[in-house]
Amino acid sequence: MTIQGCSRRGKKCFCKSLASDAMKTIKERELWATAFCRKAGMRLTPVRQAILAFLAQQRMPVSLEALSQAAGIRGHCDSSTVYRTLMLFQEAELVRLVPTPQKASYFVLNTPGDTAHFLVCRQCGRIAELPLPNTTSAQIGRLASRHGFSPAPQACEIHALCADCQIDRSRQITPSKLSSGNKTKLRPRNIS
């Protein structure tokens, strides 16, 4: 399990000052992101605005590839510029990076009030939303605090196998393969 919280120790954190309980619409999420940029002193270029507008429409993490193909981005800059911008946004904690086992990074807006917990398939990289009850989040926060981690975590990633990959895995591990594996493992050594 990966647990993330705001880590801007000693730096300016805008997460709480710009937080709102009812930040649910696409427009509100986009307005929050642009206000965040202004407050952090980041220049809002047309491409940066297009990236934020696209991310504001997504509730689930999106790939760099999908972002690079979005309207206002495709044809205006290359994917390395998009990546550098995302890294800048991540450093400011405006955007969150969700890593997958395939080393492909996925990005999601770090909007306060949004569901920030995800299940990530450790085989195919599929990402699903994980709605955690407030009591569970609070419990994780208390556990993190007991281990000396603060502030309370705001985002969790749990790595497991998705339903499709569980089926694939069960097809791959057949009893015959297991027995032949055991034979190799249990072959007696020549002691002379």
Residues lying near Zn ion in the complex (CB under 5 A) are found at 121, 123-124, 126, 162, 165
Quote the Cα angle for 66-71-72, to 5°: 115
- Contacts for 170-173: CB closer than 8 Å, 24+ residues apart: none
Query: Min. distance of Cβ 46 from Zn ion in angstroms?
Result: 37
Q: Which is nearer to Zn ion, 85 or 100 (CB)?
A: 100
Distance CA 133, CA 131 (A): 7
Q: Which is nearer to Zn ion, 152 or 165 (CB)?
A: 165
Contact indicator for 123, 146 with CB cutoff of 8 Å: no
Distance CA 41, CA 48 (A): 13
Query: Min. distance of Cβ 166 from Zn ion in angstroms?
Result: 8
Query: Min. distance of Cβ 122 from Zn ion in angstroms?
Result: 8
Q: Which residues pair with 107 in a beta bridge?
A: 62, 97
Query: Min. distance of Cβ 65 from Zn ion in angstroms?
Result: 18
Q: Which is nearer to Zn ion, 56 or 127 (CB)?
A: 127
Q: Which is nearer to Zn ion, 1 or 163 (CB)?
A: 163
Contact indicator for 144, 68 with CB cutoff of 8 Å: no
